[in-house]
Amino acid sequence: MSADYDVIVIGAGPAGYVAAIRASQLGFKTACIEKWLDEKNKPVLGGTCLNVGCIPSKALLDSSHKFAEAQHGFETHGIGTGTVKIDVPKMIERKRKVVEQMAGGIGGLFKANNVTPISGTGKLLKDKKVEVTDHEGKSQTLSAEHVILAAGSVPIEIPPTPLEDGVIVDSTGALEFQVVPKRLGVIGAGVIGLELGSVWSRLGSEVVVLEATDKFLPMVDQQIAKEAQKILTKQGLDIRLGAKVTGSKVKKGKSPSVTVEYTDKEGEQKIVFDKLIVCVGRKPYTEDLLADDCGIEKDERGFIKVDDYCATSVAGVYAVGDVVRGPMLAHKGSEEGVMVAERIAGQKAAMNYDLIPSVIYTHPEIASVGKTEEQLKEAGVEYKVGTFPFLAVGRAVAANDADGMVKMLADAKTDRVLGCHIIGPSAADLAQTVTVAMEFSTSAEDIGMTVFSHPALSEAIHEAALAVNGHAIHMPNRKKR
């Protein structure tokens, strides 16, 4: 008896929908199951990233940045604006329209590529069978030659701050505020906390970020992290490190608030907020995804165990994106989805996990690819460093957007670029150019010998590469010891 589909994908986020499209392009009869419903209870594709993650948060980041520029940045250009006001509901509505447009785009791609969308909750049974339960509770069982698990992740909740509708919220709730909180607390100084804190700080909130660890952005090259902390603090974020939240109490009524208790090096502390955002990380979403007898193994943190090619312990079943090891990044999941689809088709597809760029979309942006200086030191690798400030880049100065720097790391013997770390304007796009170069094992000298357009922000990449070997033109070079 033949299977209903060649490939069934569970989850239509960046990992799942990309896997489904690529599988169909390769000639497989493909279905993609997604349970997400929009605010009107209509099926919608895109998962967390599109609906309550990457896309809506960037819409708010862009809106709030334009507001902050109009308030504080236009005057230096000779532009007078008078009193600048923010219409929060209108900003939120624009965000919703952006999400709606992008979700519709995925639906169009499914149609163009002959992917069958199925609305409901998917659950893997044994023998590569998938149970689909629709939103009315009716179930059907489908079979497939190959199954790709791409269920994504959900925010982590912590006992001291249980969510309280409208007062204590997770990252999803923080995208729906209808008024600017006078005083806003953010638990967690990671990517999501800093981005959402920046949004509401620009709009006028007094934002306090409580971070349990003593180090700011420990996953980031620490020279860049220190620069980021300095800039974000100057922008108005009150970042308190070593602040471990121990409890909270919500006051309800006409003017609700939340009192947060935490400990730091000074002892026990209390602070009152109008609203509190809990951003302490995400966990793989595997609830009701796997039947007990399906044979799939998970690790101690709940991630599905896979090999280097995202194959699980069950032949013909794969897992990609946030439900497996590695950084929870949309682009990482997407590339895994492509890799798996191509491997199902018999191609020798692989993924370079050493070169996955990461970005924090504050302003300035923080972006990196490859190894940090701390990682190279720990591994005992001899390296060279080149840095270059945007303050010496004509295009950045002309735009009045010259905070930050580019830092490049190269092997001391071979000159091969091992990492690039940027805080500054358009850092995400600049880091991507270095990612391409590193994929082809470029050297700092190679980048230094490449012609860069002028005036352009990318000149900072050029000069940092030159600085690695003491050849920077537009700043003094470090004296060799």
What amino acid positions are annotated as catalytic residues?
454
Tokens 């199902």 correspond to: 344
Q: Which of 472, 368, 475, 387 minimizes the C-alpha distance to 430?
A: 368
Dihedral (CA of 85, 173, 106, 281) sign: positive
* 135 φ/ψ angles, rounded to the nearest 5 degrees: -75, -5
Which H or E run contains 23? helix 14-25
What SS3 state is found at 349? coil
Alpha-carbon distances, residue 375 vs 220, 241, 383 (angstroms) = 10, 22, 11
Report the alpha-carbon angle 132-135-141, nearest 5: 15
Containing 6, the helix (H) or strand (E) segment is: strand 5-10
Any residues with CB less than 8 A from the CB of 434 and at least 6 apart, and which?
A: 369, 408, 417, 420, 447, 461
Quick one: DSSP state of residue 70? I
In sequence order, what E strands does 344-474 have? 358-360, 365-370, 383-389, 405-411, 417-424
324 touches 336 (CB < 8 A)? yes
